[in-house]
């Protein structure tokens, strides 16, 4: 898995490429939250490219990730994917996040995700 971070005006852009396993997913989440806390930034565009969709979200402890993200002031997360399968997984994550009162949205394209992140 390749994981990179880029600080952009108003948000952090995180890109994961070739993420295949639950362990890689856990590692990516840990590193993302650490980067958000280090930069003191609450808005994130998380892009998943050329990666396997994972639908068993509790296998990578999503509840604990949500708890950490909820503690970050101004938290807002845009999930961007390049495949129908990953987009479906992101829509499921969006639903779970919304049930917990978190601002999370799934997108197929970065421009729409960026517009939502910077709105309001």
Q: 3-class secondary structure for the chain?
A: CEEEEEEECCEEEEEEECCCCHHHHHHHHHHHHHHHHHHCCCEEEEEEECCCCCCCHHHHCHHHHHHHHHCCCCCEEEEEECCHHHHHHHHHHHHHHHHCCCCEEEECCHHHHHHHHHCC
pLDDT at residue 58 in the model: 67
Domain limits at 81?
2-118
* Mean pLDDT confidence for 75-80: 96
pLDDT at residue 50 in the model: 81
pLDDT at residue 9 in the model: 96
Domain count, the chain: 1
- Mean pLDDT of the chain, nearest integer: 90
pLDDT at residue 120 in the model: 63
Residue 50 or 81, more confident: 81
CATH number at residue 51: 3.30.750.24
pLDDT at residue 51 in the model: 74
**Residue 77: φ, ψ to 5°:** -130, 125
pLDDT (tens digit, 9 = 90+) per residue, 26-71? 899 899 999 999 999 999 999 989 877 776 666 677 888 889 889 8
């Amino acid at each position: 898995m390749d994981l990179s971070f880029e600080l952009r005006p108003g948000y952090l852009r995180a890109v994961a490429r070739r993420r295949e396993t639950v362990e890689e997913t856990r590692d990516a989440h840990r590193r993302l939250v650490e980067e958000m806390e280090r930069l003191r930034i609450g808005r994130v565009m998380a892009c998943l490219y050329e990666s396997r969709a994972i639908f068993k979200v509790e296998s990578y402890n999503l509840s604990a990730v949500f708890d950490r993200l909820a503690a970050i002031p101004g938290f807002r997360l845009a999930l961007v994917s390049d495949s129908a399968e990953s987009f479906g997984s992101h829509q499921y994550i969006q639903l779970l996040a919304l049930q917990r009162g978190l601002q999370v949205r799934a997108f197929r394209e970065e421009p729409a995700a960026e517009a939502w992140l910077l709105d309001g």
